């Protein structure tokens, strides 16, 4: 879902860690608890496109976590706490989409500031109990919220009017990854809740 090539993703700021666990002798079992930690700093000396690409790396990492989390949910309708947490996580991704659309579609002015750095160790990755899944989803929401704040921080540096081509391409890349996570949750919940259609053409 999150494995996708962008025209602009030259800056790898997110740190990704995957661990394969195998059993002995005749049976080998891969577990769905591979950690995907992220650590990112907004380097204002970089181009706008590279700063946005760094956010895209974070959002893509959250797509990877969601794929793992959704794969760990037992078949059938999720329990109410997990379903509610999935819905809340989808709203966090929707906030990112809304922020991006405010710049891609309406060129609204900056609406605030975000933190210069964000980090999350994905510490609950190995816990696939109901409580563990809730903790994992909560971590995704925290990171998504910080990524959204980062975008708002970057928007302050974008001149008024339509973004230049490289920045626009980078913004669309983030939107595509945010939509992928949003749609993955919708597919698991089966509630036909979809993000708004894009206001642009590639």
Angstrom distance (rounded) from CA 167 to CA 68: 30
Name the residue among 155, 125, 186, 185 with its Cα closest to residue 55.
155
| pLDDT tens readout for residues 119-144 | 999 999 999 999 999 999 999 999 99
Angstrom distance (rounded) from CA 42 to CA 31: 33
Asked if the model's pLDDT at residue 5 lies above 60, the reply is: no
pLDDT of residue 28: 27
Neighbours of 104 (CB within 10 A): 18
What's the maximum distance between 2 C-alpha atoms anywhere in the chain? 63
Confidence of residue 114 (pLDDT cuts 50, 70, 90): confident
Domains of the chain, residue spans: 38-189
Asked if the model's pLDDT at residue 173 lies above 50, the reply is: yes
Confidence of residue 29 (pLDDT cuts 50, 70, 90): very low
pLDDT of residue 161: 79
The b/e string for 113-152 (b: 16+ C-beta within 10 A; e otherwise) is ebeeebebebebbeebeeebbbbbbebbbebbebbbbbbb
Find the mean pLDDT for residues 26-36.
Answer: 51
Tokens describing residue 15: 């740190």
Place of tokens 């060129």: 107
Q: Is the Cβ–Cβ distance between 47 and 162 less than 8 Å?
A: no
pLDDT of residue 18: 29
Tokens describing residue 35: 């950690």
Confidence of residue 107 (pLDDT cuts 50, 70, 90): low
Question: What is the share, in percent, of the chain residues with pLDDT greater than 90?
Answer: 67
Find the mean pLDDT for residues 21-37.
Answer: 46
Query: What average pLDDT does the chain have?
Result: 83
Angstrom distance (rounded) from CA 168 to CA 142: 25
pLDDT of residue 115: 76
Asked if the model's pLDDT at residue 108 lies above 70, the reply is: no
Task: Give the DSSP per-residue string, 86-127.
Answer: HHHHHHHHHHHHHHHHHHHTS-PPP-----SEEEE--TTTT-
| pLDDT tens readout for residues 74-103 | 999 999 999 999 999 999 999 999 999 988
Q: First vs last Cα of the chain: how many Å apart?
A: 20
Task: Please give the residue that has the higher pLDDT: either 44 or 110.
Answer: 44
Tokens describing residue 16: 């990704």
């Amino acid at each position: 879902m999150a494995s996708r090539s962008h025209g602009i993703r030259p800056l790898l700021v997110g740190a990704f860690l995957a661990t394969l666990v195998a059993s002995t002798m005749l049976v080998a079992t891969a577990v769905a608890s591979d950690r995907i930690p992220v650590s990112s700093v907004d380097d204002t000396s970089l181009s706008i496109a590279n700063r946005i690409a760094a956010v895209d790396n974070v959002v893509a990492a959250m797509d990877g976590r969601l794929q793992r989390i959704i794969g760990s949910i037992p078949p059938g309708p999720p329990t109410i706490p997990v379903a509610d947490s999935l819905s809340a996580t989808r709203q966090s991704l929707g906030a990112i989409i809304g922020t991006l659309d405010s710049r891609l579609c309406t060129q609204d002015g900056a609406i605030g500031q975000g933190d210069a750095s964000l980090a999350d160790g994905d510490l609950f990755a190995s816990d696939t109990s109901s409580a563990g899944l809730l903790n994992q989803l909560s971590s995704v929401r925290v990171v998504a919220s910080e990524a959204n704040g980062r975008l708002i921080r970057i928007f302050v540096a974008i001149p008024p009017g339509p973004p230049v081509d490289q920045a626009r391409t980078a913004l669309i890349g983030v939107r595509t990854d945010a939509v992928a996570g949003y749609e993955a949750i919708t597919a698991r919940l089966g509630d036909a809740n979809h993000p708004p259609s894009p206001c642009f053409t590639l």
